[in-house]
């Protein structure tokens, strides 16, 4: 379950980095309560970046993963906060090692990915 929360957090991160230079049939659809923002479709490029991150994470290819994680704030499900690629990788490696010690199954299946973003940040 922890991996799903982190996975969806990453999706949100990359949704916010999606390309703004594309044309959609319906440019916006939806709303964010308390703001004048609307929801827009993201790009396939964002989904492709997510797939690279997902594959690198599953393979524990931390150099590739760090290359796709910028400086920012990442909230983990246990309250730990990572602020860059190095701290993010240290946290997920710690979680992986903990699962080995507890003899818990580690891994996940990604069944879908899509990209949406707010119209303004």
pLDDT at 86 over 60: yes
Range of the domain at 42: 2-118
Record the tokens describing residue 46, joined without a space.
């964002």
Residues 45 and 77: their CA atoms lie apart, in Å, by: 27
pTM exceeding the 0.85 threshold for the entire prediction: no
Helices 2-15, 44-59: crossing angle, 10 deg rounding = 150
Q: Identify the H or E element spanning 118.
A: strand 116-118
Residues 42 and 39: their CA atoms lie apart, in Å, by: 9
- Distance from chain centroid for Cα 58: 13
Record the tokens describing residue 93, joined without a space.
């490696």
What average pLDDT does the chain have? 82
Q: How many domains are contained in the chain?
A: 1
**Low-confidence winner among 22-31, 62-71, 103-112 (lowest mean pLDDT):** 22-31
Task: Identify the CA nearest to 114 among candidates 34, 57, 29.
Answer: 29
Model pLDDT, residue 65: 92
> What is the maximum alpha-carbon separation in the chain?
51
Residues 119 and 97: their CA atoms lie apart, in Å, by: 39
């Amino acid at each position: 379950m922890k991996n799903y929360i982190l996975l969806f957090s990453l999706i949100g991160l990359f949704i916010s980095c999606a390309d703004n230079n594309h044309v959609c049939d319906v440019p916006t659809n939806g709303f964010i309560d308390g703001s004048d923002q609307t929801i827009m479709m993201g790009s396939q490029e964002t989904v492709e970046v997510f797939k690279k991150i997902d594959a690198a994470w599953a393979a524990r290819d931390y150099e590739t993963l760090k290359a796709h994680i910028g400086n920012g704030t990442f909230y983990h499900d246990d309250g730990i906060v990572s602020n860059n690629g190095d701290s993010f990788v240290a946290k997920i490696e710690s979680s992986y090692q903990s699962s080995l010690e507890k003899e818990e199954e580690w891994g996940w299946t990604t069944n879908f990915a899509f990209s949406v973003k707010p119209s303004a940040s």
